[in-house]
Protein backbone atom coordinates (compact mmCIF):
# COMPACT_ATOMS: atom_id res chain seq x y z
CA UNK A 1 0.00 0.00 0.00
CA UNK A 2 1.24 3.46 -0.87
CA UNK A 3 2.22 5.65 2.07
CA UNK A 4 2.33 9.41 2.17
CA UNK A 5 5.67 11.11 2.83
CA UNK A 6 6.50 12.02 6.40
CA UNK A 7 9.28 14.49 5.63
CA UNK A 8 9.59 17.67 3.58
CA UNK A 9 10.46 17.16 -0.12
CA UNK A 10 14.15 17.39 -1.00
CA UNK A 11 13.45 20.36 -3.27
CA UNK A 12 11.28 22.16 -0.72
CA UNK A 13 11.50 25.95 -0.93
CA UNK A 14 12.56 27.35 2.43
CA UNK A 15 12.35 31.11 2.22
CA UNK A 16 11.17 34.37 3.66
CA UNK A 17 8.92 37.15 2.37
CA UNK A 18 8.85 40.94 2.28
CA UNK A 19 6.94 43.63 0.37
CA UNK A 20 8.47 46.56 -1.49
CA UNK A 21 6.21 49.14 0.16
CA UNK A 22 7.21 48.03 3.66
CA UNK A 23 10.92 47.67 3.04
CA UNK A 24 12.36 49.66 0.15
CA UNK A 25 11.83 53.31 1.05
CA UNK A 26 13.19 55.72 -1.59
CA UNK A 27 9.59 56.56 -2.36
CA UNK A 28 10.35 59.41 -4.77
CA UNK A 29 13.74 58.20 -5.99
CA UNK A 30 14.73 57.20 -9.53
CA UNK A 31 11.36 58.09 -11.04
CA UNK A 32 9.08 56.37 -8.54
CA UNK A 33 5.93 58.23 -7.52
CA UNK A 34 3.56 57.68 -4.62
CA UNK A 35 1.65 54.44 -4.19
CA UNK A 36 -1.49 53.75 -2.16
CA UNK A 37 0.55 52.73 0.90
CA UNK A 38 2.44 56.02 1.11
CA UNK A 39 -0.49 57.94 2.63
CA UNK A 40 -0.52 56.29 6.08
CA UNK A 41 1.28 58.14 8.89
CA UNK A 42 2.36 56.49 12.10
CA UNK A 43 -0.37 57.31 14.61
CA UNK A 44 -0.13 56.16 18.23
CA UNK A 45 -3.16 58.15 19.40
CA UNK A 46 -5.51 55.25 18.73
CA UNK A 47 -5.41 51.59 19.78
CA UNK A 48 -2.56 50.53 17.53
CA UNK A 49 -3.35 46.84 18.09
CA UNK A 50 -6.77 47.24 16.47
CA UNK A 51 -5.71 49.47 13.62
CA UNK A 52 -6.16 48.45 10.01
CA UNK A 53 -6.14 50.30 6.72
CA UNK A 54 -9.78 50.57 5.70
CA UNK A 55 -11.67 53.18 3.72
CA UNK A 56 -9.95 56.31 2.43
CA UNK A 57 -11.48 59.43 0.88
CA UNK A 58 -10.00 61.75 -1.74
CA UNK A 59 -9.78 64.46 0.92
CA UNK A 60 -7.67 62.20 3.15
CA UNK A 61 -5.40 61.39 0.21
CA UNK A 62 -4.82 65.06 -0.53
CA UNK A 63 -4.13 65.85 3.13
CA UNK A 64 -1.51 63.08 3.26
CA UNK A 65 0.18 64.37 0.11
CA UNK A 66 0.38 67.90 1.54
CA UNK A 67 1.23 66.88 5.14
CA UNK A 68 4.62 68.21 6.27
CA UNK A 69 4.24 67.32 9.95
CA UNK A 70 3.59 63.61 10.42
CA UNK A 71 5.99 60.72 9.75
CA UNK A 72 5.02 58.25 7.03
CA UNK A 73 7.03 55.06 7.70
CA UNK A 74 6.29 53.23 4.45
CA UNK A 75 7.84 56.04 2.46
CA UNK A 76 11.15 55.14 4.10
CA UNK A 77 10.84 51.45 5.07
CA UNK A 78 14.17 50.01 6.21
CA UNK A 79 15.99 51.59 3.24
CA UNK A 80 16.16 48.20 1.50
CA UNK A 81 16.41 50.07 -1.83
CA UNK A 82 19.95 51.04 -0.85
CA UNK A 83 20.90 48.20 1.51
CA UNK A 84 19.56 45.18 -0.39
CA UNK A 85 23.00 43.67 -1.04
CA UNK A 86 23.96 43.62 2.62
CA UNK A 87 20.47 42.49 3.67
CA UNK A 88 20.37 39.69 1.11
CA UNK A 89 23.77 38.47 2.27
CA UNK A 90 22.48 38.20 5.83
CA UNK A 91 19.39 36.37 4.59
CA UNK A 92 21.58 34.04 2.56
CA UNK A 93 23.41 33.21 5.78
CA UNK A 94 20.09 31.74 6.97
CA UNK A 95 20.55 29.08 4.30
CA UNK A 96 17.25 29.89 2.58
CA UNK A 97 16.97 28.76 -1.04
CA UNK A 98 14.16 31.12 -2.02
CA UNK A 99 13.00 34.66 -1.29
CA UNK A 100 9.67 36.34 -1.93
CA UNK A 101 9.71 39.99 -2.96
CA UNK A 102 7.19 42.30 -4.55
CA UNK A 103 7.83 44.68 -7.40
CA UNK A 104 6.52 48.17 -6.79
CA UNK A 105 3.99 48.97 -9.51
CA UNK A 106 4.66 52.68 -8.82
CA UNK A 107 8.37 52.18 -9.48
CA UNK A 108 7.75 50.65 -12.92
CA UNK A 109 4.76 52.74 -14.03
CA UNK A 110 4.89 55.76 -11.68
CA UNK A 111 1.45 57.04 -12.74
CA UNK A 112 -0.01 53.67 -13.69
CA UNK A 113 -1.16 54.95 -17.08
CA UNK A 114 2.29 55.85 -18.43
CA UNK A 115 3.01 55.01 -22.06
CA UNK A 116 6.45 53.59 -21.24
CA UNK A 117 7.87 51.91 -18.13
CA UNK A 118 10.48 53.57 -15.94
CA UNK A 119 13.83 52.10 -16.95
CA UNK A 120 15.50 53.01 -13.65
CA UNK A 121 12.86 51.03 -11.79
CA UNK A 122 13.28 48.02 -14.06
CA UNK A 123 17.06 48.16 -13.64
CA UNK A 124 16.75 48.14 -9.86
CA UNK A 125 14.84 44.86 -9.96
CA UNK A 126 17.28 43.44 -12.50
CA UNK A 127 20.03 44.10 -10.00
CA UNK A 128 18.00 42.82 -7.05
CA UNK A 129 17.03 39.59 -8.81
CA UNK A 130 20.59 39.04 -10.03
CA UNK A 131 21.87 39.34 -6.47
CA UNK A 132 19.24 36.91 -5.17
CA UNK A 133 20.11 34.37 -7.83
CA UNK A 134 23.84 34.79 -7.19
CA UNK A 135 23.21 33.95 -3.54
CA UNK A 136 21.24 30.82 -4.42
CA UNK A 137 17.73 32.14 -3.81
CA UNK A 138 14.90 31.15 -6.15
CA UNK A 139 12.88 34.35 -6.70
CA UNK A 140 9.18 34.32 -5.90
CA UNK A 141 7.78 37.60 -7.20
CA UNK A 142 4.50 39.29 -6.30
CA UNK A 143 3.33 41.67 -9.01
CA UNK A 144 0.72 43.59 -7.02
CA UNK A 145 1.28 43.88 -3.26
CA UNK A 146 -0.52 47.08 -2.17
CA UNK A 147 1.69 49.19 -4.43
CA UNK A 148 -0.81 50.52 -6.95
CA UNK A 149 0.29 53.97 -8.19
CA UNK A 150 -1.70 56.54 -6.23
CA UNK A 151 -2.63 58.25 -9.49
CA UNK A 152 -4.70 55.21 -10.53
CA UNK A 153 -6.76 55.53 -7.36
CA UNK A 154 -7.25 59.30 -7.65
CA UNK A 155 -7.78 59.53 -11.41
CA UNK A 156 -9.50 56.23 -12.21
CA UNK A 157 -10.97 54.94 -8.89
CA UNK A 158 -8.55 52.04 -8.92
CA UNK A 159 -9.88 48.60 -9.74
CA UNK A 160 -13.45 49.91 -9.97
CA UNK A 161 -12.52 51.27 -13.38
CA UNK A 162 -12.33 48.63 -16.08
CA UNK A 163 -9.40 50.47 -17.66
CA UNK A 164 -7.25 49.20 -14.80
CA UNK A 165 -7.44 45.70 -16.31
CA UNK A 166 -5.31 46.85 -19.22
CA UNK A 167 -3.04 48.99 -17.03
CA UNK A 168 -2.29 45.93 -14.90
CA UNK A 169 -1.92 43.53 -17.81
CA UNK A 170 0.50 45.89 -19.53
CA UNK A 171 2.51 46.21 -16.29
CA UNK A 172 2.59 42.43 -15.80
CA UNK A 173 3.59 41.86 -19.44
CA UNK A 174 6.53 44.23 -19.06
CA UNK A 175 7.72 42.23 -16.04
CA UNK A 176 7.20 38.87 -17.73
CA UNK A 177 9.27 39.91 -20.74
CA UNK A 178 11.99 41.67 -18.76
CA UNK A 179 12.56 38.95 -16.16
CA UNK A 180 11.54 35.80 -18.04
CA UNK A 181 15.03 34.32 -17.66
CA UNK A 182 15.26 35.19 -13.95
CA UNK A 183 11.85 34.43 -12.44
CA UNK A 184 9.88 31.20 -12.65
CA UNK A 185 7.35 31.63 -9.85
CA UNK A 186 4.93 34.57 -9.89
CA UNK A 187 2.08 35.65 -7.60
CA UNK A 188 -0.21 38.07 -9.38
CA UNK A 189 -2.00 39.72 -6.42
CA UNK A 190 -1.24 39.60 -2.71
CA UNK A 191 -4.08 38.32 -0.48
CA UNK A 192 -6.74 38.95 -3.11
CA UNK A 193 -9.61 38.15 -0.71
CA UNK A 194 -8.63 40.93 1.69
CA UNK A 195 -11.20 43.59 0.78
CA UNK A 196 -12.39 44.62 4.26
CA UNK A 197 -9.23 45.14 6.35
CA UNK A 198 -7.09 46.46 3.49
CA UNK A 199 -9.79 47.82 1.22
CA UNK A 200 -8.09 50.92 -0.21
CA UNK A 201 -4.60 49.42 -0.22
CA UNK A 202 -5.86 46.50 -2.24
CA UNK A 203 -8.45 48.00 -4.58
CA UNK A 204 -7.57 51.70 -4.62
CA UNK A 205 -11.21 52.83 -4.56
CA UNK A 206 -11.74 56.15 -2.70
CA UNK A 207 -14.85 55.69 -0.56
CA UNK A 208 -16.37 59.03 -1.56
CA UNK A 209 -16.09 58.41 -5.31
CA UNK A 210 -18.69 55.61 -5.53
CA UNK A 211 -22.33 55.39 -4.48
CA UNK A 212 -22.30 51.82 -3.14
CA UNK A 213 -18.85 51.00 -1.79
CA UNK A 214 -19.55 47.32 -1.11
CA UNK A 215 -20.82 46.79 -4.65
CA UNK A 216 -17.89 48.83 -6.00
CA UNK A 217 -15.45 46.55 -4.17
CA UNK A 218 -16.86 43.41 -5.75
CA UNK A 219 -17.00 45.06 -9.16
CA UNK A 220 -13.36 46.01 -8.63
CA UNK A 221 -12.57 42.43 -7.62
CA UNK A 222 -14.25 41.19 -10.80
CA UNK A 223 -12.03 43.44 -12.88
CA UNK A 224 -9.02 42.22 -10.91
CA UNK A 225 -9.94 38.57 -11.45
CA UNK A 226 -10.29 39.16 -15.18
CA UNK A 227 -6.94 40.98 -15.18
CA UNK A 228 -5.28 38.06 -13.39
CA UNK A 229 -6.65 35.60 -15.94
CA UNK A 230 -5.58 37.87 -18.80
CA UNK A 231 -2.09 38.25 -17.30
CA UNK A 232 -1.88 34.46 -16.86
CA UNK A 233 -2.76 33.93 -20.52
CA UNK A 234 -0.14 36.46 -21.60
CA UNK A 235 2.49 34.95 -19.27
CA UNK A 236 2.11 31.51 -20.83
CA UNK A 237 2.48 33.01 -24.30
CA UNK A 238 5.72 34.71 -23.27
CA UNK A 239 7.20 31.75 -21.39
CA UNK A 240 5.29 28.44 -21.13
CA UNK A 241 7.55 27.45 -18.23
CA UNK A 242 6.27 30.23 -15.98
CA UNK A 243 4.43 29.04 -12.88
CA UNK A 244 1.61 31.48 -12.09
CA UNK A 245 0.19 31.49 -8.58
CA UNK A 246 -2.69 33.14 -6.80
CA UNK A 247 -2.72 34.13 -3.14
CA UNK A 248 -5.30 34.22 -0.36
CA UNK A 249 -5.30 35.46 3.18
CA UNK A 250 -5.92 32.17 4.97
CA UNK A 251 -8.50 32.95 7.64
CA UNK A 252 -11.02 30.12 7.55
CA UNK A 253 -13.66 30.25 10.27
CA UNK A 254 -14.86 27.80 12.85
CA UNK A 255 -18.49 27.86 13.95
CA UNK A 256 -18.83 29.02 17.56
CA UNK A 257 -21.30 26.24 18.40
CA UNK A 258 -22.83 23.10 16.91
CA UNK A 259 -26.06 24.99 16.27
CA UNK A 260 -26.98 24.52 12.61
CA UNK A 261 -27.41 28.28 12.15
CA UNK A 262 -23.85 28.88 13.41
CA UNK A 263 -22.53 26.10 11.20
CA UNK A 264 -24.30 27.65 8.23
CA UNK A 265 -22.79 31.05 9.06
CA UNK A 266 -19.29 29.55 9.13
CA UNK A 267 -19.94 27.81 5.81
CA UNK A 268 -21.06 31.09 4.21
CA UNK A 269 -18.07 32.93 5.68
CA UNK A 270 -15.65 30.37 4.27
CA UNK A 271 -17.34 30.23 0.89
CA UNK A 272 -16.90 33.95 0.29
CA UNK A 273 -13.30 33.81 1.51
CA UNK A 274 -12.66 31.07 -1.07
CA UNK A 275 -14.72 32.72 -3.82
CA UNK A 276 -11.54 34.39 -5.13
CA UNK A 277 -9.53 31.18 -5.35
CA UNK A 278 -12.52 29.26 -6.74
CA UNK A 279 -12.55 31.67 -9.67
CA UNK A 280 -8.79 31.77 -10.25
CA UNK A 281 -8.16 28.06 -9.64
CA UNK A 282 -11.34 26.65 -11.23
CA UNK A 283 -12.01 29.24 -13.90
CA UNK A 284 -15.59 30.29 -13.20
CA UNK A 285 -17.81 32.03 -10.68
CA UNK A 286 -19.28 29.49 -8.22
CA UNK A 287 -23.03 29.27 -7.69
CA UNK A 288 -22.89 30.33 -4.04
CA UNK A 289 -21.35 33.67 -5.08
CA UNK A 290 -24.32 34.49 -7.30
CA UNK A 291 -26.63 33.70 -4.37
CA UNK A 292 -24.57 35.98 -2.11
CA UNK A 293 -24.68 38.85 -4.60
CA UNK A 294 -28.43 38.39 -5.03
CA UNK A 295 -29.06 38.38 -1.28
CA UNK A 296 -26.89 41.48 -0.82
CA UNK A 297 -28.39 43.24 -3.86
CA UNK A 298 -24.99 43.52 -5.49
CA UNK A 299 -24.91 43.72 -9.26
CA UNK A 300 -21.68 42.68 -10.96
CA UNK A 301 -21.27 43.76 -14.58
CA UNK A 302 -19.62 41.21 -16.86
CA UNK A 303 -18.24 42.38 -20.19
CA UNK A 304 -18.33 40.20 -23.27
CA UNK A 305 -15.47 37.73 -23.10
CA UNK A 306 -14.97 37.87 -19.32
CA UNK A 307 -16.26 34.35 -18.68
CA UNK A 308 -14.04 32.91 -21.38
CA UNK A 309 -10.99 34.82 -20.11
CA UNK A 310 -11.48 33.49 -16.57
CA UNK A 311 -10.76 29.99 -17.84
CA UNK A 312 -7.04 30.89 -17.76
CA UNK A 313 -6.40 29.49 -14.30
CA UNK A 314 -3.46 29.60 -11.90
CA UNK A 315 -0.88 26.81 -11.64
CA UNK A 316 -0.46 26.85 -7.87
CA UNK A 317 -2.12 28.26 -4.77
CA UNK A 318 -0.44 30.31 -2.06
CA UNK A 319 -1.79 31.79 1.13
CA UNK A 320 -0.72 33.76 4.15
CA UNK A 321 -1.48 32.24 7.52
CA UNK A 322 -1.57 34.17 10.77
CA UNK A 323 -4.80 33.13 12.50
CA UNK A 324 -8.16 31.42 12.17
CA UNK A 325 -11.54 33.03 12.65
CA UNK A 326 -14.65 32.03 14.57
CA UNK A 327 -18.18 33.17 13.87
CA UNK A 328 -21.83 32.63 14.69
CA UNK A 329 -25.07 33.56 12.99
CA UNK A 330 -25.47 36.99 14.63
CA UNK A 331 -21.86 38.11 14.18
CA UNK A 332 -21.71 36.96 10.59
CA UNK A 333 -24.96 38.63 9.57
CA UNK A 334 -24.05 41.89 11.31
CA UNK A 335 -20.60 42.00 9.74
CA UNK A 336 -21.96 41.13 6.32
CA UNK A 337 -24.51 43.93 6.51
CA UNK A 338 -21.94 46.52 7.61
CA UNK A 339 -19.07 45.16 5.50
CA UNK A 340 -16.99 44.86 8.66
CA UNK A 341 -15.29 42.15 10.68
CA UNK A 342 -17.47 39.05 10.75
CA UNK A 343 -15.77 36.97 13.42
CA UNK A 344 -15.18 36.98 17.15
CA UNK A 345 -12.58 36.00 19.70
CA UNK A 346 -11.95 32.28 20.16
CA UNK A 347 -11.31 31.69 23.87
CA UNK A 348 -9.87 28.26 23.09
CA UNK A 349 -6.77 29.93 21.62
CA UNK A 350 -4.00 32.15 22.94
CA UNK A 351 -3.31 35.50 21.30
CA UNK A 352 -0.30 37.50 20.15
CA UNK A 353 0.49 40.93 21.56
CA UNK A 354 -1.69 42.35 18.78
CA UNK A 355 -4.68 40.15 19.58
CA UNK A 356 -4.23 37.70 16.70
CA UNK A 357 -5.19 34.12 17.60
CA UNK A 358 -2.42 31.53 17.61
CA UNK A 359 -3.68 28.32 16.01
CA UNK A 360 -1.03 25.94 14.58
CA UNK A 361 -3.55 23.11 14.12
CA UNK A 362 -5.66 25.55 12.13
CA UNK A 363 -2.81 25.68 9.61
CA UNK A 364 -3.01 21.92 9.09
CA UNK A 365 -6.77 22.20 8.66
CA UNK A 366 -6.41 25.04 6.16
CA UNK A 367 -3.82 23.14 4.14
CA UNK A 368 -6.08 20.10 3.94
CA UNK A 369 -9.20 22.09 3.05
CA UNK A 370 -7.45 23.97 0.25
CA UNK A 371 -5.65 20.93 -1.17
CA UNK A 372 -8.82 18.83 -1.19
CA UNK A 373 -10.59 21.67 -3.00
CA UNK A 374 -8.02 22.38 -5.74
CA UNK A 375 -5.53 19.48 -5.91
CA UNK A 376 -2.74 21.86 -6.95
CA UNK A 377 0.70 22.53 -5.40
CA UNK A 378 0.65 25.00 -2.52
CA UNK A 379 2.97 27.42 -0.76
CA UNK A 380 2.59 29.20 2.56
CA UNK A 381 3.84 32.62 1.50
CA UNK A 382 3.43 34.42 4.84
CA UNK A 383 3.44 33.16 8.41
CA UNK A 384 4.63 34.69 11.63
CA UNK A 385 3.78 36.52 14.83
CA UNK A 386 4.32 40.22 15.35
CA UNK A 387 5.99 40.80 18.71
CA UNK A 388 7.82 43.40 20.79
CA UNK A 389 11.54 42.60 20.69
CA UNK A 390 13.91 43.95 23.36
CA UNK A 391 17.44 44.87 22.38
CA UNK A 392 19.62 44.05 25.40
CA UNK A 393 22.59 46.08 26.55
CA UNK A 394 24.95 43.65 24.82
CA UNK A 395 23.08 43.96 21.48
CA UNK A 396 21.20 40.67 21.70
CA UNK A 397 17.56 39.84 20.99
CA UNK A 398 16.27 36.78 22.80
CA UNK A 399 13.01 35.74 21.11
CA UNK A 400 11.99 32.24 22.24
CA UNK A 401 8.34 33.22 21.63
CA UNK A 402 9.06 33.52 17.91
CA UNK A 403 10.83 30.17 17.80
CA UNK A 404 7.98 28.51 19.67
CA UNK A 405 5.34 29.98 17.35
CA UNK A 406 7.10 28.99 14.13
CA UNK A 407 8.12 25.58 15.43
CA UNK A 408 4.51 24.68 16.18
CA UNK A 409 3.39 25.77 12.73
CA UNK A 410 6.17 23.89 10.92
CA UNK A 411 5.24 20.76 12.87
CA UNK A 412 1.68 21.07 11.53
CA UNK A 413 2.97 21.62 8.00
CA UNK A 414 4.78 18.31 8.30
CA UNK A 415 1.58 16.65 9.50
CA UNK A 416 -0.27 18.07 6.48
CA UNK A 417 2.36 16.60 4.16
CA UNK A 418 1.77 13.26 5.87
CA UNK A 419 -1.94 13.83 5.21
CA UNK A 420 -1.10 13.94 1.50
CA UNK A 421 -0.97 17.68 0.94
CA UNK A 422 1.39 18.82 -1.84
CA UNK A 423 3.19 21.62 0.00
CA UNK A 424 6.19 22.94 -1.92
CA UNK A 425 7.30 26.09 -0.07
CA UNK A 426 7.28 28.04 3.17
CA UNK A 427 8.01 31.77 3.51
CA UNK A 428 7.92 33.25 7.03
CA UNK A 429 6.84 36.87 6.90
CA UNK A 430 9.43 39.57 7.34
CA UNK A 431 12.60 37.52 7.95
CA UNK A 432 14.16 40.94 8.38
CA UNK A 433 12.15 43.52 10.34
CA UNK A 434 10.05 45.81 8.13
CA UNK A 435 7.26 48.37 8.63
CA UNK A 436 3.93 46.85 9.65
CA UNK A 437 1.29 46.88 6.92
CA UNK A 438 -1.74 47.43 9.14
CA UNK A 439 -0.32 49.82 11.74
CA UNK A 440 2.66 51.47 9.99
CA UNK A 441 4.91 50.76 12.97
CA UNK A 442 8.33 49.19 13.38
CA UNK A 443 7.57 47.99 16.91
CA UNK A 444 5.57 45.07 15.52
CA UNK A 445 8.48 42.86 14.53
CA UNK A 446 8.48 39.52 12.74
CA UNK A 447 12.06 39.08 11.66
CA UNK A 448 15.03 36.86 12.39
CA UNK A 449 17.08 40.03 11.82
CA UNK A 450 16.53 43.10 13.98
CA UNK A 451 16.62 46.50 12.28
CA UNK A 452 17.46 49.37 14.61
CA UNK A 453 14.73 51.80 13.54
CA UNK A 454 11.89 52.98 15.76
CA UNK A 455 8.32 53.95 14.91
CA UNK A 456 9.40 57.48 13.93
CA UNK A 457 12.31 56.42 11.75
CA UNK A 458 14.99 57.09 14.36
CA UNK A 459 17.88 54.70 14.94
CA UNK A 460 21.19 53.50 13.57
CA UNK A 461 19.60 51.20 10.92
CA UNK A 462 22.04 48.55 12.11
CA UNK A 463 21.06 44.92 11.40
CA UNK A 464 21.40 42.44 14.30
CA UNK A 465 20.74 38.70 14.20
CA UNK A 466 18.21 37.50 16.78
CA UNK A 467 18.36 34.15 18.57
CA UNK A 468 15.70 32.90 16.14
CA UNK A 469 18.15 33.43 13.26
CA UNK A 470 20.30 30.46 14.27
CA UNK A 471 17.19 28.40 14.96
CA UNK A 472 15.69 28.97 11.50
CA UNK A 473 19.06 28.27 9.87
CA UNK A 474 19.04 24.90 11.62
CA UNK A 475 15.50 24.22 10.38
CA UNK A 476 16.41 25.10 6.80
CA UNK A 477 19.72 23.23 6.65
CA UNK A 478 18.09 20.11 8.12
CA UNK A 479 15.14 20.38 5.68
CA UNK A 480 12.72 20.73 8.55
CA UNK A 481 13.98 17.76 10.56
CA UNK A 482 15.59 19.73 13.41
CA UNK A 483 13.08 22.01 15.07
Rounded to 10°, the helix 119-134/163-178 angle is 50
- What's the confidence (pLDDT) of residue 338? 72
Q: Summarize pLDDT for 244-277 with one digit per residue, the tens.
A: 999 999 999 999 999 999 999 999 999 999 999 9
pLDDT category of residue 40 using cuts at 50, 70 and 90: very high
How far apart are the C-alpha atoms of 94 and 472, rounded to whole Å? 7
The SS3 assignment for 74 reads helix
- Alpha-carbon distance values, 151 to 34, 58, 192, 217, 250 (Å): 8, 11, 21, 18, 30
State the chain's mean pLDDT as an integer. Answer: 95
Task: Give the tens place of pLDDT for each residue, 148-187.
Answer: 999 999 999 999 999 999 999 999 999 999 999 999 999 9
Percentage with pLDDT > 90 across the chain: 92
Residues in the chain: 483
CA neighbor of 7 nearest in space, from 380, 481, 422, 371: 481
47 pLDDT band, cuts 50/70/90, is: low
Residue 466, H or E segment: none
Burial class (CB in 10 A: 0-12, 13-18, 19+), 395: exposed
Q: Give the Cα separation of 377 and 381 in Å (integer).
A: 13
Question: Is the pLDDT assigned to residue 30 strictly greater than 70?
Answer: yes
Residue 21 Rama label (left phi>0; alpha psi -120 to 50; beta): alpha
CB 190 within 8 A of CB 128: no
pLDDT at 410 over 90: yes
The pLDDT of residue 49:
57
Q: Which residues, in sequence order, are bridge partners of residue 318?
A: 247, 379
Reported as a single tens digit per residue, the pLDDT across 106-123 is 999 999 999 999 999 999
User: For 211-238, how does the pLDDT look when each residue is reduced to its tens digit (9 = 90+)?
Assistant: 999 999 999 999 999 999 999 999 999 9
pLDDT of 356 higher than 60: yes
Q: What is the pLDDT of residues 427-474, one digit of tens each?
A: 999 999 999 998 899 999 999 999 999 999 999 999 999 999 999 999
Strand partners, 250: 321
In this structure, whether the domain defined by 13-477 belongs to CATH 3.20.20.10 is answered with no
- Prediction pTM value: 0.96
Amino acid sequence: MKKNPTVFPNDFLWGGAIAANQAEGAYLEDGRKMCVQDIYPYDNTEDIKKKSNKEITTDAIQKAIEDKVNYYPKRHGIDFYHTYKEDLQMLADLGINSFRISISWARIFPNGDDQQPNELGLQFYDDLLDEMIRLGMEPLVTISHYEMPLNLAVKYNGWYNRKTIDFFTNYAEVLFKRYQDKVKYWILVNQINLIVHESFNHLGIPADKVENLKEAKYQGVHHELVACAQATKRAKEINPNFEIGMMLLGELAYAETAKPADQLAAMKFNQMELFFSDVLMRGAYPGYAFRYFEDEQINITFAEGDEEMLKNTADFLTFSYYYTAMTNEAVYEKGKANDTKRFLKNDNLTESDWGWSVDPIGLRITLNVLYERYQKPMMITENGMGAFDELTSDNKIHDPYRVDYLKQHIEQMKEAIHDGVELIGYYPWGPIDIVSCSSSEMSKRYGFIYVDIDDYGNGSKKRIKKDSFDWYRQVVTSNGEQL
